[in-house]
Amino acid sequence: MDTLLKVAGALVILVSAGAAVAVTLPSFGAPAVMWALQWALPGIGIGIALAAFGSMLGQLKRIRLAAERQADLFQSILERRQPAK
């Protein structure tokens, strides 16, 4: 899921930037550039947010795996310290 969100975020950024370039190519005037930026910046922001959320999910997955590994190590230490019955 994290990789999917990263890819979706990159795709949204590329589509927004591509559409802004496509709008401004026919007329390079300042009003066209300003209009394109007004239209494209929210899309680029959404793409960045999606990619950041995907990255956060990946980090949380790695944290969960590390916590499980630490719990297993702690359990093995406790089992070695218990006296044999």
Considering its fold, how many domains does the chain have in total?
A: 1
pLDDT band of residue 36 (cuts 50, 70, 90) is confident
Question: 70 or 27, which is more confident?
Answer: 70
Q: Which domain holds residue 62?
A: 2-81
40 close to 17: Cβ distance less than 8 angstroms = yes
Query: What percentage of the chain exceeds 70 in pLDDT?
Result: 95
Q: How far apart are CA 13 and CA 42, in angstroms?
A: 10
Is the pTM higher than 0.75? The answer reads: no
pLDDT band of residue 2 (cuts 50, 70, 90) is confident
Residue 76: half-sphere exposure toward Cβ, Cα within 13 Å: 5
pLDDT band of residue 85 (cuts 50, 70, 90) is low
Quick check: helix, strand or coil at residue 28?
Answer: coil
